[in-house]
Amino acid sequence: MTPAHEQILNVLLGYLSAMNAEGVLLRAMREAEIQPEKFSLEDLPDIIPSIERRARLYVDPGRLGRLKSEIAAIGGDRPSRRSKVMVISVEADISEARLSAKAVCDAAGAKSFTSHKVATIVSELARNIVHYTPGGTIEIAVQRDSPVRFVIVAVDEGSGIQNLQEILAGRYKSKTGMGRGLIGVKRLADRFQIDSGPKGTRVEIEVHL
């Protein structure tokens, strides 16, 4: 047991039985793909959402706020380091990217509506990469400074998007459907930025948790 593991466990023992406290902590680590023997306070922001979600099963709502405060105080104001990078090149990568995005959302404690929104955005971006470029990557990360949000960055190696401004304005009509997904993604995002040129396209999106 690492010192950080022991610190968090001692806080949980003030609210849960020994068995439940250890179970909540180990499941949170497993969900965040953190090995217990390597757990440190740097990893704390990545397991807090899972701990909070599971603690609700055992802790009286009137005490839950205090538990959250005690755990957060141990870690200080550390940002999450968790991110997921997905290589996108073939059709199967689209559904895989959607599932990965949902897994990141679930690990961060996102509500169902937010998870669906992020998964839809990632799926549409992956579809554009597969159908219109030689390939690319999508990265999804959780940023825990205010506002807590998901940051999604899609980068491809295509030749750029023609008529980009027309597409974003909704005026471009394509027989292939190119552009419709991009408009939908923009509408779902809390922040949307796109840069496109002859060497490829980069889309950065934020969705508030």
The pLDDT of residue 50: 81
Q: Considering only residues 80 and 201, tell me which one the structure prediction assigns the higher pLDDT.
A: 201
Contact 203, 125 (CB under 8 A): yes
Pairing of strands 149-156, 191-197: unpaired
pLDDT higher than threshold 80 for residue 49: no
Give tens-digit pLDDT for 24-41.
999 988 877 788 888 888
Q: 166: pLDDT confidence band, cut at 50, 70 and 90?
A: confident
Average pLDDT of the chain, as a whole number: 86
The pLDDT of residue 174: 61
Average pLDDT of the residues in 32-53 = 82
Give tens-digit pLDDT for 71-111.
878 866 555 556 788 999 999 999 999 998 988 888 777 88
